[in-house]
Structure 1
Amino acid sequence: MLSPASRKRRTIGRIPGLGTGTGSRGPRWTRPAVRTHSAALRSTGPGRRRQVRGTRKRERFRASKPDADAEVVLAGILVADPACHGAQALTDLVADARRFATEAHQRIDQRRKYSNQPYQEHLKAVAEQVASVTDDAEMIAAAWLHDTVEDTPATFGDIERAFGRSVRDLVAQLTDVSKPSDGNRSERKAIDRHHLAQASARAKTVKLADLIDNCTDICRHDPGFARVYLREAAALLDVLGEGDERLFRRAQQALANCARRLGLPAPPQSVAEDARQPLRSELSLSQRRALRLFTEAFTASEIAQPLRSFDIERGMDVLQTLASADDLEVAGLRRDGVCIGYLSAGQQAHRAPEDLLRAFAPAQRVRRDAPLSEVVHVLTHYDFCFVTAMGDVAGVITRGDMQQPVVRMWLFGIVTLMEIELLERIRSRWPDGSWTERLPAGRLDKAQALLAERRRRGQHVDLADCLQFGDKARVLLSDEEQRLAFGLPTKGAAKRVMSDLESLRNNLAHAQDIVTYDWPQIARLARNIEERLKQQERD
């Protein structure tokens, strides 16, 4: 069932090979309130930027004296005169990036893995490292935002709308591109390292700051994994040489300090597979078949909508159509009969269409038979997922389309498989039934009451069959080995994840909105199913 806020997208005819569902815009996640800075930054031309930088240098010299016109602002940026609109826009950019990132990570209650601190403490540390070597506000903003697309429901489109194309590009360069289906940890890290090798010197500077803080945190709290991380970080440094020289030296020193603390002679230079990989999940034959069914039966073609497209010569008409049509979010542009890019609603109609044309990023395109888990991966990073038919882009999927019944069936099935696995693991781990000691008395009483009722109806069940989803999770994840098997390092992390999954399950069961607040759980389930499929291929 679609949410009340969903509306049909205007389409023209049917495109062979694509689904005919109605689709919807659907509610997107609520973005933190920030100002849009792209126009203000564009108004600050090269000459103006040089003037601003020169002003900052003079103000640093004057900062030691009381001066009402000088003001120290966020992350060490000094702005001379609030009336200087270019400088003020740069200052606001950092402040709003901090607010945007903080709210985005708080919204999903993300915390540091070991210290359980709010995640913004890591973002602050990275931003401060960057600000210590540059006053480039876009770089400092990117430092605050560097994990936003990777970890929260925000997309690259959200970043660009709020902070402009330059910041968006920096965040994209800092965001991992590998997927669970790409292979083991070593293979995925190699893919991400190659992606970062192509990044700009500005992005590499931010990554150096990120590496420094992560290295310090991991070495302090997890010496076992630190040995693996050191090898990966040493390999990463090989592609970060274009970053700031001072941060590069700090990163080298951080790795050396960590190696010394672990009793290693020097930071190792090769990347090895993490010896602490989660326990392999032994799936039954029926579960394997069900998992394969969820991959092959639920594909992009089931929910894709035909992409309305126009000849590029009619670009201005496209912009006007997007501006006036409430139910049209995106349109393709054709050249010589081939769709070469797209325009999206909200772009500035006074600019030439050629300047606004967005090429289809390779990571945005999926085949019509791609599993829904791949679609989720794309929509975690981008506003639009484009579907190809016979090699050309023919359809489009947005997060609003993920409200469709087909997607709900797919998600509910995955959650059900996970619940079955929880139950089977409980029986395997505590065959004598001693798991009851790990459940609060009140919850155990409810399970026993349900057992009595089900047996009265003639059902052949035991006490474990009568546990609720949350009870099964509580029992199993109280065991450290089982918790680590699910990739959850602490009890607090396990509790939050299972609580979120239970919330998603309830929203699915009651036909509630699943996109606005449940997207992190949807992305987690998609990664889980890709990892399981990869494991089946290895087996």
Structure 2
Amino acid sequence: MNITQTSNTSSSKKYNLVARARIYAIEAHSRINHRRKYSFEPYDVHLKDVVEIVSAVTDDEEIIAAAWLHDVVEDTSATFLNLEQEFGSSVAQLVSEVTDVSSPANGNRATRKALDRAHLAKASWRGKTVKLADLTDNCRDICSHDPEFAKVYLTEMSGLLEVLSDGHPVLFTKAMELMHKSAEALSLPLEVITAFQGIKRTNQSEFFHPDRTSNLFLKTFMARDIARILPSMDFPPSGTATDLMDKQKVPAVGIRHDGIVRAYVIQADPLQERTFRSDQLVDEESSFAEVILALTKHKICFVRMLGTVSGIITRDDIQHPFVRMWLFGIITMLEMQTTPLIERLWPEGTWTALLSKSRLEKAQTLLEERLRRNQQTTLLGCLQFSDKIQILIQNKEILNDLGFQSKRIAKRVCKDFESLRNNLAHAQDIVTHDFTQIARMAIRIESERH
């Protein structure tokens, strides 16, 4: 093969990898209607910006592919295993390096950012290069739209830059210059920028209050209630691992070193030993919310019992009756909170002005039927869950407290939650179509608890 042929082959390979990563990332974010926080533009606008920043300093196709994919595990239903199968272990590793490992269960924002910073410090120069591009684009966006939060972001950015100095030197220099320029524009003295200052979160609406949802459901159900036994074998892994997985009907087998499970293999690659990631492990007393958070990044979650990894949970285990009971109970309690809150904010039925005539007529028909059956209820009690949320999000404090960027997004998400509730009630599959809503609920619950 001559030099020209080699060049053409290399170029084709690069195009294929980068093009596939681009399509995969855009489709993954589009499926959940992911948009930028301030501009509401499709999220791929951010991805394109990050890729352009990276492409200006390198033609490494794996780095560029990782730039497209850098948020898919953190924000969508994709897992690291998905990326490894689609794009290879190197690209999956780069995405892993720039994906946050913390969860709300780790504590307040300052604590979580410290954990993520420590994780990022261990990244390769290529991973840090992707992160520098991400920081740069986010800094521009936040500082131009939200000066108040920009002060917090710049504080955290300064801490991250301390561990990103061995990323691409051009991008590191530009990120430092942008941080200084942005801080100056906000009249924020750089000497007072110290990393990991927390944000005090207010909860003025008292909706989704942890006291009302966590006391029973979050303490009663634990990871050990749904975990299956993780079969294991001594190092080195062998072809018998596949037989063991088939026999036990599990997608992984633990690998013992000196009698202790320290790694694992999977069905697709039974001879390749894999190490456990910290965000892939939960304790046996971890809440279902913590388990679900782990499963947002990985297809498999491992459970530590009595000091050793001996349990396994997959996304399919979310179909377990205990998890369905837990989810349905939380949704029910949330719905129960809406009625007194509406009555307090819109007394004497003034909330009726916020609903359409057709929705009110439907509730009125249901009210008449229930009264005919001698059931004690009110017109408000006959509204659908989505109707009640439609009323509540008219209050700006509640809209903000729920973390919605607009009423339109709030309405769409609430319809999705109603779909989840209906699928739970009718014993339908809740993993294939509802996992995003389940993950959103888990994130919210853990945020409230911590």
Smaller-chain TM-score bracket: over 0.9
Instruction: Give runs of aligned pairs for residues 271-290 of structure 1, distance below 5 A.
Output: 271=195, 272-274=197-199, 277-279=202-204, 281=206, 288=211
Aligned AA (1:383): K
**In structure 2, C-alpha distance between the alignment counterparts of 1:504 and 1:363, rounded to whole Å:** 26
Query: Can you list the C-alpha shifts for 1:222-258, whole angstroms capped at 9, x where unaligned?
Result: 2332222222222222222111121122223333443
Question: Per the alignment, in what secondary structure is the counterpart of residue 397 of structure 1?
Answer: strand
**In structure 2, C-alpha distance between the alignment counterparts of 1:282 and 1:476, rounded to whole Å:** 10
Give the structure 1 partner of residue 298 of structure 2.
382
Query: Can you list the C-alpha shifts for 1:415-450, whole angstroms capped at 9, x where unaligned?
Result: 112222233322222223222111111111112222
**In structure 1, C-alpha distance between the alignment counterparts of 2:232 and 2:280, rounded to whole Å:** 17
Question: Per the alignment, in what secondary structure is the counterpart of residue 309 of structure 2?
Answer: strand
Judge which range, 453-462 or 120-129, deviates more. 453-462
Give the structure 2 partner of residue 305 of structure 1.
228
Question: Per the alignment, in what secondary structure is the counterpart of residue 433 of structure 1?
Answer: helix
**In structure 1, C-alpha distance between the alignment counterparts of 2:198 and 2:282, rounded to whole Å:** 29
* Preserved contact between residue 97 and residue 120 of structure 2 (Cα < 8 Å): yes
Question: Per the alignment, in what secondary structure is the counterpart of residue 254 of structure 2?
Answer: strand
Judge which range, 363-372 or 471-480, deviates more. 363-372
Query: Can you list the C-alpha shifts for 1:454-481, whole angstroms capped at 9, x where unaligned?
Result: 2232233222211101101111112211
Give the structure 2 partner of residue 422 of structure 1.
338
Cα drift, residue 297 of structure 1: 1.9
**In structure 2, C-alpha distance between the alignment counterparts of 1:206 and 1:283, rounded to whole Å:** 36
Cα drift, residue 176 of structure 1: 1.0
Give the structure 1 partner of residue 431 of structure 2.
515
* Preserved contact between residue 207 and residue 398 of structure 2 (Cα < 8 Å): no
Cα drift, residue 492 of structure 1: 2.5
Q: Summarize the Cα distance change of 1:257–1:289 in structure 2 as closer, same or farther, 3 Å threshold.
A: closer
Q: Summarize the Cα distance change of 1:166–1:279 in structure 2 as closer, same or farther, 3 Å threshold.
A: farther
Matched, 1:127 2:43: no
Matched, 1:171 2:83: no
* Preserved contact between residue 181 and residue 531 of structure 1 (Cα < 8 Å): yes
Instruction: Give runs of aligned pairs for residues 448-467 of structure 1, distance below 5 A.
Output: 448-467=364-383
Query: Can you list the C-alpha shifts for 1:494-514, whole angstroms capped at 9, x where unaligned?
Result: 122212211211211122211
Instruction: Give runs of aligned pairs for residues 91-240 of structure 1, distance below 5 A.
Output: 91-240=15-164
Higher relative contact order (CA 8 A, sep 6+): 1
* Preserved contact between residue 207 and residue 337 of structure 2 (Cα < 8 Å): no
Aligned AA (1:403): Q
Give the structure 1 partner of residue 238 of structure 2.
315
Aligned AA (1:436): T
Aligned AA (2:88): G
**In structure 2, C-alpha distance between the alignment counterparts of 1:152 and 1:468, rounded to whole Å:** 28
**In structure 2, C-alpha distance between the alignment counterparts of 1:203 and 1:312, rounded to whole Å:** 30
Query: Can you list the C-alpha shifts for 1:58-96, whole angstroms capped at 9, x where unaligned?
Result: xxxxxxxxxxx79xxxxxxxx941xx2x44323311111
Matched, 1:295 2:213: no
Question: Per the alignment, in what secondary structure is the counterpart of residue 303 of structure 2?
Answer: strand
Question: Per the alignment, in what secondary structure is the counterpart of residue 238 of structure 2?
Answer: helix
Instruction: Give runs of aligned pairs for residues 379-418 of structure 1, distance below 5 A.
Output: 379-418=295-334
* Preserved contact between residue 278 and residue 484 of structure 1 (Cα < 8 Å): no
Q: Summarize the Cα distance change of 1:313–1:259 in structure 2 as closer, same or farther, 3 Å threshold.
A: closer
**In structure 1, C-alpha distance between the alignment counterparts of 2:248 and 2:279, rounded to whole Å:** 27
Greater radius of gyration (CA): 1
User: What is the TM-score normalised by the length of structure 1?
Assistant: 0.78
* Preserved contact between residue 156 and residue 381 of structure 1 (Cα < 8 Å): yes
How many residues matched? Answer: 449
Instruction: Give runs of aligned pairs for residues 344-359 of structure 1, distance below 5 A.
Output: 344-347=266-269, 353=271, 356-359=272-275
Give the structure 2 partner of residue 39 of structure 1.
none
Match of 1:483 among 386, 391, 399: 399
Q: CA RMSD in A?
A: 2.6
Judge which range, 160-169 or 457-466, deviates more. 457-466
* Preserved contact between residue 387 and residue 397 of structure 1 (Cα < 8 Å): yes
Structure (1/2) with the larger helix percentage? 2
* Preserved contact between residue 205 and residue 397 of structure 2 (Cα < 8 Å): no
* Preserved contact between residue 149 and residue 381 of structure 1 (Cα < 8 Å): yes
Q: Summarize the Cα distance change of 1:379–1:472 in structure 2 as closer, same or farther, 3 Å threshold.
A: same
User: What is the TM-score normalised by the length of structure 2?
Assistant: 0.92
Match of 1:369 among 279, 285, 288: 285
**In structure 2, C-alpha distance between the alignment counterparts of 1:215 and 1:398, rounded to whole Å:** 36
Aligned AA (1:196): L
Cα drift, residue 260 of structure 1: 4.5
Matched, 1:332 2:254: yes
Aligned AA (2:391): V
Identity of paired residues, percent? 47
**In structure 2, C-alpha distance between the alignment counterparts of 1:530 and 1:367, rounded to whole Å:** 15
Query: Can you list the C-alpha shifts for 1:339-378, whole angstroms capped at 9, x where unaligned?
Result: 232111111x6xxx3xx11123333222222211111111
Q: Summarize the Cα distance change of 1:276–1:290 in structure 2 as closer, same or farther, 3 Å threshold.
A: closer
Give the structure 2 partner of residue 443 of structure 1.
359
**In structure 2, C-alpha distance between the alignment counterparts of 1:137 and 1:325, rounded to whole Å:** 40
Cα drift, residue 486 of structure 1: 0.9
Q: Summarize the Cα distance change of 1:216–1:313 in structure 2 as closer, same or farther, 3 Å threshold.
A: closer
Give the structure 2 partner of residue 343 of structure 1.
265
**In structure 1, C-alpha distance between the alignment counterparts of 2:425 and 2:355, rounded to whole Å:** 25
**In structure 2, C-alpha distance between the alignment counterparts of 1:283 and 1:106, rounded to whole Å:** 27
Residue segments in structure 2 that go unaligned for 5+ positions in a row: none
Aligned AA (1:306): I
Judge which range, 252-261 or 166-175, deviates more. 252-261
* Preserved contact between residue 153 and residue 380 of structure 1 (Cα < 8 Å): yes
